[in-house]
Structure 1
Amino acid sequence: MSLDDVLAQIDRNLDTATAHLMDLLRIQSISTDPAYKADCDKAADWLVADLKSIGVEATKRPTPGHPMVVGHVGEDNSDLPHVLFYGHYDVQPVDPLELWTSPPFEPQLEETNNGTVIRGRGASDDKGQLMTFIEACRAWKLVHGSLPCRITFFFEGEEESGSPSLIPFMQANADELKADIALICDTSMVSRGVPSIASQLRGMLKDEFTVIGPRIDLHSGHYGGPGLNPLRELSRIVDSFYDRETGRVAVEGFYDGVHEVPADLLRQWENSGFDAQDYLSNAGYTQAHGEKAYSILEQQWSRPTLEVNGLWGGYNGAGSKTVIPSEAHCKITCRLVGDMDPDALRGKIRAHVAAQLSPDCKVVWDQDLEGSPASVMNIARPEFEAARGALSDEWNREAVFCGMGGSIPIAGFFKSVLGMDAMLVGFANDDDAIHSPNEKYDLKSFHKGIRSWARILDALTK
C-alpha cells in the first residue's frame, strides 16, 4: 500500500467527511459569549470522541476558560518524526444575524460561480481547516492501520476571544506538547488554487487613549472659540500620525527593526497569481492607500501599519447637542514586522502623542492592552521544502512561501514557550468571509486540503 491508496481513500470518503464536518459546524462554540460555554464544551467532547475513533489517545483538559483538547498517537516509536498539529474549535459570533442568507449553524452545501461551498459559521475559520488534517489521518489509518509519524493534536477553544488560557496551559504542559515542529492550519492561500506556506506573520500592538480638555462638557455658545475642543485636538493628533505624500507613518523611530524582503522571496510573491485589482475592488477601492514605494503584497505582508480603529466623543444621539465635549477617545492598532519591538514602539507612539498636545489638555492611556512581535518562520528547515514539494504535487503548480497580513500569536508562542518552529499551511480563500456573515469554505479547499495533508505527512516521514 502507498500514498496513492491513501489519496484514493480520501476521494471515496469525501461525502462522508463533508457530512462529518457539518456535524461539527452545527455546534455553536462561540467562545467570547458566556451563554455558549456549554456549546464550547460540547465541541471539545466531539473532537475527543472523533480523535479516539482513529486510535488517538485524546482527552479534554480543563482551563479557567474553555477546555483544551490534547491527543497523542505513535508515542511508542521514538524513531519516527514527531509533529504537533494545532487548530481551534471556537468560532466568532454571528452578528449581524439578519445579513446571513442561511442560518449560520445549519451548514449546507451551496453552488456558486467558483464551485460548491460549505456555508456556515466556522466552515473556514477554523473547523473546516482543522478537519482537513483529521480526515487525512483517518484515511491514513484506514489504509495502513496506523499513522505515518508521531502526532500530538492540540486544539483550543479560546482563539477567537484572545486565548487567555493558552500560554499558562502551554507552560504547564510544555514537556507533553513539545515536538519536532508544529503544524498550523488557520491561514489562506495567496490566491485561489495557489498552495501557500506562510513564511512570516505580522505581529500586533494595541493601544487606546483619551484626550481630556475641559473639566465638564461645555456650552458651545459660551465657550466655542476660546475653548479647547478635545475632538478637534484628537483629529489633529491622528492626522500627525501619517505623511500624506509618501503614505508612511510619521512617528519617529516607527520603522526601527523593519527589513526589506529578500529578492528570492519577493520573486515568489510576484509570481503567486495575486490579482491586485481584484483585491482592491473586492473592498470597494480603486487604488492602494498605503506606502507608495511598495507593492500591495509588500504593504500587506512585510510592511508595518498604524491604523485608527475607533474614534468617539461628544454627543452621538439623535439630533444635535451643542457641546464642547470634555473627552475624546481613540483606539489604535499596529501590525508589526521583522524585529519591531512592541514595547519600544508603544513608547514611541505615546511620546509622539504627548508632543502634539496643546496647553490645557492631557492624555490618559489604557494600561491593559497587549502586544506581540512578528513571527518569521525558519524556512531553511527541510520540512518546509518537503511540504512545498508535496503541495506543488497536489495542486499541480508551484507552492509559494508567502507572508500573512494578519497576526496568529500561537506561531510565536510555539517558539517562545516551547522552543518549536511552526509551519502554517492553510487552504482558505480571501472571499471566505471569515468573521463575517455568510462564512464559507470551498469544497475543493476541503477536499484538496485533506489530500495535501496526506502528502505532507508522507513527505515529512521521508
Structure 2
Amino acid sequence: MIETIKTYLEEQRDQHIEELMQFLRIPSISAVAEHQPDMKRCAEWTADSLRKAGLENIEIMPTGGHPVVYADWLHAEGKPTVLIYGHYDVQPADPMELWDTPPFEPVIRDGKLYARGSTDDKGQLLLYVKVVEAFLRTQGTLPVNVKFCIEGEEEIASKNLPPFVEKYQDKLQADAVVLSDTQMHGPGKPALMYGLRGLAGFEITIDGANSDLHSGLFGGAVQNPIHALTKLLSSFHDADGRVAVEGFYDRVIELSDKEREAFKQVEPDENKVRTNLNVDTLYGEKGFSFYEQTTSRPTLEITSVSGGFQGEGIKPIIPNRASAKIACRLVAAQIPDEIMNAVEAHIHAQDLPGVKVTLDRQLRGNPFITPIDEPVMVAAAEAYEDTYGSWPVYTRSGGSIPIVEVLGRVLDAPVVLLGFGLPGENLHAPNEHFHLINWEKGTETISRFWLNLAARNEKA
C-alpha cells in the first residue's frame, strides 16, 4: 500500500506544491490588526483545502480571537483516532528589506521554497492534508481516524485555544495528538522532540520609604530597597548553581539511563558553545551536561533588575522602590503555581527589615513530556527510520509551547512532535524557507506512521 501512496504523491507533487504556494501567498499575520481580512481568508482557504482532500464535518469555529478550523474523517472502525494540530497564522515579515524576494510571493530556489510560513507552519501542516488526499483517492479509506484542529493564533501565544480545547474536549477527543511544528536534528537526521519545559514568570517589587531619599541625610539609617533586593536575589542559588528555594525540585522527574544515553547523540560540544558565546567558562547546576541543564533541568533566571536613577551621571539617593523580573523554566512534573508558592515562601523567610516585598505572578505554562517508549512514539520512530533510513534522535526543548501540554492534558492523550523542518530555515526571520526534500519525505513518513498505528492496533 505504501508504494501506491508514494506513487500518487509523486504524480501530484507539482500540483500540491502549487497549492502550498497559494496558501503561502495569504499574509495571515495574526499579530497585526490590518490583516484581519487575511486571517479570515486564510481560514476559509484552509477549510476549502480540507474539503477538497475528502475530509468531512468541516467547520470554521469562532473563538475570542481568530477562528479554529476543524475537520474530521471517522470511518476507520476499530482503529485509533489521531488529532492533527497546526496553525495557519504566521509571523510578521519585518524587516522587509532583508528578504531576497517578497515574503508573500513564494519562490523555489535550490530545492527550497522561500516564503513566510513555509516551514512555520503552513508547509508542515499541509503535509497531513495531502496524505489524507492520497489515501482517499487511492484506497477510498484511511488507516486511522483523523481530526484536524488548526488555529489562527499560535504566533500570538494561542491565548484563546486552551478554553476552546476545554469547551470542545469531547469533539477533539483522540488516542494521540500529532503536530509538525518542530525541526529535525539535521539533513536526513530525524528527531522526535518528546519534552518541553514549562514557565513560571513573576515580578518581585521591594518598597521602602514613601519617596526617594537624600543619601546624605538618610543613608545608613534607612533600608535601601536595592540593597534588600540584591540580598534576596543572591539567596536564590547556592554556590553550585542549584536553586536554593525549598521544594523547588520536589516534583522533578529525573532522567532515565536510556534518556541520558540518547542525549549523548545530540549534545553540543561544550567547548564550542563556550567559544561561540565568548565566555571563559560555562556555569550551571553541577552534575549535569550543558544539554541536560538547558532541556531537562528546571531553572530560576533573573531576567531584569531595576531601581533608582537610570539617567546619565549619578543621583545620590536612596530609591524608594526596586524590582526584578524572574523566569523559571520548569520540567515534568512541576506546577507553575506551586513553584511560585515556594518562591514566595522563600522570600518571606528572608530577613529583610524596613521594606515591603510583593510578588506579581504573570506567566504560567506547564511542562510537557511523552515517554519515548510510548507506543505512538515507537510507531513514529519506526516510520522515520523506514523513510529516512535512520532511527530518530530523541530531543527535549529548553523552551515552552504551552498548547502542547494543554492538548495532552485535557485530551488525556500522548503528543507526538513529528517535525520536518531543518535548522537554519529562518523561521520567524527574513528568507524563511522549507527544504522540499522533506515535503516528499514528510508525506511518506506520515503515511507510514498512520499505517504503523493501524497495524499496532490490530496486534493489540
TM-score by length of 1: 0.87
**1:412 — aligned with what?**
405
**1:130 — aligned with what?**
125
Q: Which consecutive unaligned segments of at least 5 residues does structure 1 have?
A: none
Q: d(CA) in 1 for partners of 2:431 and 2:211?
A: 44
**1:203 — aligned with what?**
198
* Mapping 1:138-287, distance limit 5 Å: 138-218=133-213, 228-243=223-238, 245-272=239-266
Residues 1:401 and 2:394 are matched in the alignment: yes
Contact 2:125 2:180 in 1 (8 A): yes
**2:49 — aligned with what?**
50
RMSD: 2.9
Which has the higher mean CA deviation after the structures are superposed, 298-307 or 138-147? 138-147
**1:88 — aligned with what?**
87
The one-letter code sitting in structure 1 at the alignment partner of 2:62 is: P
Q: d(CA) in 2 for partners of 1:363 and 1:59?
A: 50
Q: Which consecutive unaligned segments of at least 5 residues does structure 2 have?
A: 456-460
The one-letter code sitting in structure 2 at the alignment partner of 1:402 is: T
Q: d(CA) in 2 for partners of 1:442 and 1:82?
A: 29
Contact 2:53 2:130 in 1 (8 A): no
Kindly state the Cα deviation for residue 185 of structure 1 after the two structures are TM-superposed.
Answer: 1.5
For residues 380-409 of structure 1, give each alpha carbon's deviation from its aligned partner in whole angstroms, at most 9, with x where no partner exists.
Answer: 443221221110111111123332322222
Which has the higher mean CA deviation after the structures are superposed, 57-66 or 163-172? 163-172
Q: d(CA) in 2 for partners of 1:436 and 1:325?
A: 41
Q: d(CA) in 1 for partners of 2:198 and 2:219?
A: 42
Residues 1:60 and 2:68 are matched in the alignment: no
- Aligned residue pairs total 453
SS at match of 2:170: helix
Identity %: 37
Q: d(CA) in 2 for partners of 1:152 and 1:362?
A: 52
TM-score by length of 2: 0.87
SS at match of 1:366: strand
The one-letter code sitting in structure 1 at the alignment partner of 2:123 is: G
Match of 1:307 among 293, 301, 313: 301
Residues 1:428 and 2:411 are matched in the alignment: no
**2:30 — aligned with what?**
31
**2:458 — aligned with what?**
none
* Mapping 1:387-398, distance limit 5 Å: 387-398=380-391
For residues 155-199 of structure 1, give each alpha carbon's deviation from its aligned partner in whole angstroms, at most 9, with x where no partner exists.
Answer: 112223232222222222222111221112122234443212233
Q: d(CA) in 2 for partners of 1:128 and 1:382?
A: 27
SS at match of 1:250: coil
Q: d(CA) in 2 for partners of 1:228 and 1:436?
A: 47
Kindly state the Cα deviation for residue 87 of structure 1 after the two structures are TM-superposed.
Answer: 1.0
Contact 1:194 1:272 in 2 (8 A): no
Q: d(CA) in 2 for partners of 1:363 and 1:10?
A: 62
SS at match of 2:326: strand
**1:453 — aligned with what?**
446
Q: d(CA) in 2 for partners of 1:131 and 1:438?
A: 20
Contact 2:76 2:141 in 1 (8 A): no
SS at match of 1:402: strand
* Mapping 1:349-388, distance limit 5 Å: 349-356=343-350, 358-367=352-361, 369-388=362-381
Kindly state the Cα deviation for residue 208 of structure 1 after the two structures are TM-superposed.
Answer: 1.8
For residues 313-369 of structure 1, give each alpha carbon's deviation from its aligned partner in whole angstroms, at most 9, with x where no partner exists.
Answer: 44555x3462554333322221111322322211111222344463232222224x2
The one-letter code sitting in structure 2 at the alignment partner of 1:395 is: Y
For residues 239-274 of structure 1, give each alpha carbon's deviation from its aligned partner in whole angstroms, at most 9, with x where no partner exists.
Answer: 33233x422222222211123211122222213475
The one-letter code sitting in structure 2 at the alignment partner of 1:17 is: H
CA 1:273–1:344 in structure 2 vs 1: closer, same or farther (change >3 Å)?
closer
Contact 1:68 1:156 in 2 (8 A): yes
Contact 1:230 1:327 in 2 (8 A): yes
Contact 2:76 2:142 in 1 (8 A): no
The one-letter code sitting in structure 2 at the alignment partner of 1:311 is: V
The one-letter code sitting in structure 2 at the alignment partner of 1:387 is: A
CA 1:25–1:225 in structure 2 vs 1: closer, same or farther (change >3 Å)?
farther
Kindly state the Cα deviation for residue 222 of structure 1 after the two structures are TM-superposed.
Answer: 5.6
**1:345 — aligned with what?**
339
Q: d(CA) in 2 for partners of 1:291 and 1:424?
A: 28
**1:6 — aligned with what?**
5
CA 1:331–1:11 in structure 2 vs 1: closer, same or farther (change >3 Å)?
farther
CA 1:436–1:233 in structure 2 vs 1: closer, same or farther (change >3 Å)?
farther
Contact 2:307 2:319 in 1 (8 A): yes
Contact 2:86 2:121 in 1 (8 A): yes
